Structure 1
Amino acid sequence: MEMLDAIAETFPPEWKVFSPELVAETATSRIVKVRLEDGEPAIIKHLTPLGVREELGGRRYLDWHDGNGCIRLLAQRGNNLLLEYAGARTLLDHLNEHGDDDATQIFVNVFLRLMQSKLQNRPFPPGLIPLRTHFASLFKRAEADRTRGVNSQFVEAAAVADMLLNNQQNVQPLHSDLHHENVLRGKRGWLVIDPKGLIGDPMFDTANMFYNPLDRDDLRMSERRIATMAQTFSQAFNRDIETILGFGMTHACLSASWHDEDGNFDESKRSLGVAEAIRRVLQTI
């Protein structure tokens, strides 16, 4: 409670927020639910020094979308972001109650709203991380394997990623962590939260849907589900299935490379399992 009080003291007085309630705490931020002067709920994201370095691209993403498919950034002061409250019901909750296909359709509807932002012809915000930079760990791991003469999943995935990154279409700001727990339902319907702020081919932002939910390997490893989801995305977003599946596979291998760097080898193995399931579907296209 003392820690929460200390954080609340950093909130700008002109925001006139009250009733702080700690929702979550990570290495990059503390999420505090507050009430605005009119009693409406809001979120203050209090960034740690690491968060200031890593998450300000997400602020630029929110600014660019201006509430279209995602929460609104209401104000910023220093390392405090005042954000629209998206609600407490996640797309994962909906999946658990109504099934994967229904949740996927909701994701499609939200994604189409996000894609409409580019039609406003607003200039892209500066400082977004290029998608190729985001893949650095995968390329590094693949190079190390090649040097050792190992033709690993990482080597294959890096070649696919390089091809995809050389042929990006409809480049725009990306969320980069778009999964079931970052899509919430509130007063304005289903909205996206917690973007990281990349720039590149929007089909990369479909990749996490194949990779999630994290504790549902029955879904993540299902070739039938992978193929159905890829077909749904291809029709809805008017892009080829190979690109969509390619980003799904390479994202899973990228995640595995991050887990390896952290010494989390069990999770790396699980990630590579998802990548292999997607690769098998790709081979049938």
Structure 2
Amino acid sequence: MLDAIAETLPPEWKVSFPELIAETVTSRIVKVRLESGEAAVIKHLTPLGMREELGGGTHYLEWHRGNGCIRLLAQSDNNLLLEFAGARTLLDHLNEHGDDAATQIFVGVFLRLLETKQASLPGPPDLIPLRTMFASLFKKAGTDPKRGVQSQFVEAAKLVDALLNDQHDVQPLHGDLHHENVLYGERGWLVIDPKGLIGDPTYDAANMFYNPLNRDDLRACESRIASMAQTFSQAFNRDIKTILGFGMAHACLSASWHDEDENYDESARSLGVAAAIRKVLDTIG
């Protein structure tokens, strides 16, 4: 398999010592050495990966120019040559030093990403609007009442509509910021694997409430949700209700995706996170 990938690479990349480090439905991640001896990564996209990550995702990396995220070094067809971000994830840091420590690191990374917009760089093309991102949730909210079901999706869709009608500081978004997409290496903490959205940057903090995926003790913990929301509100100078609203909305969006896949157990887990965030939201006057 590595030989087959190597055959598709431009010879001018001059990479060597390929090592498969991850494989998903969207890509194969191969660690290589550049001619300089530095480590790099080749992301070999599958057809699904090409649909989801080419365009907006690569333009997002180019827009940031390495500020807070990995650099896109080169691209050829479905192969991306990327800076090696490191092997240590924010999830590793959470497991060793606790959730609060991981949250503080995320805040620093998030603020660095905001600096690109503050530098007044023109935004890239081919980004997905947040309203398009929430299409699955809106569809679910439209069909449930017809079946006589007043679900969490209906309430969430109303909340999302209000949030999207009142977006602030609209800019390019990563779209999938969570503990395993923030890595530590020679340049410090960097983000990887952007989806390439555009909208209110508060949405990019929403996934932190929803993660880590295997830690329901954290995801559904109301005191953790309240503390994280307060931290984000102060650090990003945004209304805490907006932050919690996007957190709840994202959890319901994830549930709608799981529903489409008929993965009802995961949908229920996602709705559990949304319900916990809603309880915290209800306590705020």
TM-score normalised per structure 1: 0.98
Cα separation, 2, equivalents of 1:183 and 1:272: 25
**1:153-201 Cα shifts (integer Å, max 9, x gaps):** 0000000000000000000111111000000000000000000100000
Cα separation, 2, equivalents of 1:14 and 1:203: 40
Cα separation, 1, equivalents of 2:264 and 2:151: 15
SS of 2:81's equivalent?
Answer: strand
Given residue 33 of structure 1, which amino acid in structure 2 is its aligned partner?
Answer: K
CA RMSD of aligned residues (A): 0.7
Given residue 252 of structure 1, which amino acid in structure 2 is its aligned partner?
Answer: A
1:21 equivalent in structure 2: 19
**1:79-122 Cα shifts (integer Å, max 9, x gaps):** 11110000000000000000000000000000000000001211
Q: CA deviation at 1:149?
A: 2.7
2:129 equivalent in structure 1: 130
1:10 equivalent in structure 2: 8
1:41 equivalent in structure 2: 39
Given residue 18 of structure 1, which amino acid in structure 2 is its aligned partner?
Answer: S
Cα separation, 1, equivalents of 2:24 and 2:94: 25
1:164 equivalent in structure 2: 163
**1:191-215 Cα shifts (integer Å, max 9, x gaps):** 0000010000000000110000001
Cα separation, 2, equivalents of 1:212 and 1:47: 25
Cα separation, 2, equivalents of 1:276 and 1:184: 30
Given residue 207 of structure 2, which amino acid in structure 1 is its aligned partner?
Answer: N
**Residue ranges of structure 1 left out of the alignment (5+ in a row):** none
SS of 2:257's equivalent?
Answer: helix
Cα separation, 2, equivalents of 1:147 and 1:164: 24
Cα separation, 2, equivalents of 1:92 and 1:155: 32
Q: CA deviation at 1:47?
A: 1.2
1:232-271 to 2 correspondences below 5 Å: 232-271=231-270
Q: CA deviation at 1:148?
A: 2.1
1:96 aligns with 2:109: no
Cα separation, 2, equivalents of 1:26 and 1:95: 23
Cα separation, 2, equivalents of 1:119 and 1:241: 22
**Most deviating of 210-219 and 18-27:** 18-27
| Count of matched residue positions in the alignment of Structure 1 and Structure 2 | 283
2:272 equivalent in structure 1: 273
2:29 equivalent in structure 1: 31
**Residue ranges of structure 2 left out of the alignment (5+ in a row):** none
**1:39-98 Cα shifts (integer Å, max 9, x gaps):** 110001111122111101110110011100000011111111110000000000000000
